[in-house]
Structure 1
Amino acid sequence: MGRGRVQLKRIENKISRQVTFSKRRSGLLKKAHEISVLCDAHVGLIIFSTKGKLFEYSSDSSMETILERYERYSCAEKQLVPTASESQESSSWTIELPKLTNRMEVLQRNLRNSMGEDLDPLSLRELQHLEQQLDIGLKRIRTRKNQLMLEAIAEMQKKAKALQEENNLITKKLKENENMLAERANWEQQCNNISGPNSTTPLLMAPHPRPPLPSHSGAFQASGVVEEGSGYQTRPTTNNTRIPSWMLNHPNQ
Structure 2
Amino acid sequence: MLFPLLLLTFLSTARLETQSDNEIIPQLMETGSQERGQANASDQQHNCVTDVNSVLREMSALLGALKVEVRYLREDNEGKKQVHYCNSQCNISHFNVLLSSVSVKQVAFSASLLAAGSGTVGPFNTHTPLVFRHVVSNIGNAYNPHTGFFIAPVRGAYHFEFYIGAHGHAAHPTGAVLIKNGEHIFIAYEHQNSHYGSSANGVTLLLEVGDVVFLRQWVNTRIFDSENHHSTFSGHLLFTM
Whose helix fraction is larger, Structure 1's or Structure 2's?
Answer: 1
TM-score by length of 2: 0.34
- Larger RCO, structure (CA 8 Å, separation 6 or more): 2
Whose strand fraction is larger, Structure 1's or Structure 2's?
Answer: 2
Bigger radius of gyration among the two: 1
TM-score by length of 1: 0.32
